[in-house]
Amino acid sequence: MKSLNITILLVCACFGTLLADAVKPFHFSLKCKELKLLKIIILQDASVHINGYDGSELLITGKNDTSTGPINGYHDISALAAQIHKSTSADFAPRIIENNGMIEMILQTTDANDITIQLPKRTHFSLQFVSHLPKSMLSLTGLYGELMISADVPSVFINNISGPLSLTSAGINLKKVINISHVRWNKAGHDNSPLLFIASLNADVNLCVPPGLKASLNLKATHNRVYSDLPSHQLNYESSKNGDLAVKLNGGGTQVFITTEYGNILLKKEL
């Protein structure tokens, strides 16, 4: 079967003074396009929230989050400097190119530093995203299609997904954290392919594990440590090589691969 590739490109320079005005929402119908790969590329310093829902429309909204204000005890005197003019748009106003196998959208530069994307929850979804704002984050919630994520952002939160998930995180952000919880493990495939594949340069990776999960974990924290608060009787350690740690939970099962060069790996009981 053919897949319909959808590429969305958000291009923006780093934002300056934060404004309170919201960016005009963008709507795009995905009805009758079930065999699609939705690919979004975001080149903008921002926090991004990806939420799956039961509808058939892609909805992108943006706002200016002013919660990242000045450091306590200090005043923002940036306005005293000469302002650099930046060409921005009041809405995403995409230029759309469509052919038999691709829909490409190039969104205009906006002042938004907080972007929310709602999409049909069973969408096969690919994201490329880079943000260097210290408090910026990426969240993915309620998505039940295949996920292919490449993100360089300080914090990543993944919750209520069915996978498979491939997540790579590399770049210049000095310290990062990746949190994964409430995976729908019972939806794992039977072709022995990994349900989760996580690769990072320097992120701490926190994986929440529900009681009784049967999984085969391949873990590698090259220059750091692997920690666990799981009951010892659930863990069976296999021979390790090249710094890898092979762990079978409750006899083994669903394949999980996690690699971080300079971060820690934490296996924790899911509440």
Q: Give pLDDT tens digits for 88-145.
A: 677 777 777 777 666 777 766 678 889 999 999 999 899 988 888 888 899 999 999 9
Using one digit for the tens of pLDDT, what is the confidence trace for 173-182? 667 999 999 9
pLDDT of res. 221: 92
Average pLDDT of the residues in 6-29: 61
Least confident of 28-32, 162-166, 199-203, 234-238: 234-238
183 and 97 together in one domain:
no
pLDDT category, 4, cuts 50, 70, 90? low
Q: Is the pLDDT of residue 198 over 60?
A: yes
Task: Enter the pTM of the model.
Answer: 0.84
How crowded is residue 136: how many other Cβ atoms within 10 Å of its Cβ?
22
137 and 169 together in one domain:
no
Distance CA 239, CA 82 (A): 61
93 and 190 together in one domain:
no
54 and 131 together in one domain:
yes
Distance CA 148, CA 197 (A): 10
pLDDT of res. 188: 57
Check residues 247 and 65 and name the one with the higher pLDDT: 247
178 and 144 together in one domain:
no
Cis? peptide before 210, omega within 30° of 0: no
101 and 181 together in one domain:
no
* Structural domain that includes position 13: 1-67+86-148
Give the total number of structural domains in the chain. 2
pLDDT of res. 257: 95
123 and 16 together in one domain:
yes
78 assigned to some structural domain: no
209 and 231 together in one domain:
yes
6 and 138 together in one domain:
yes
80 assigned to some structural domain: no
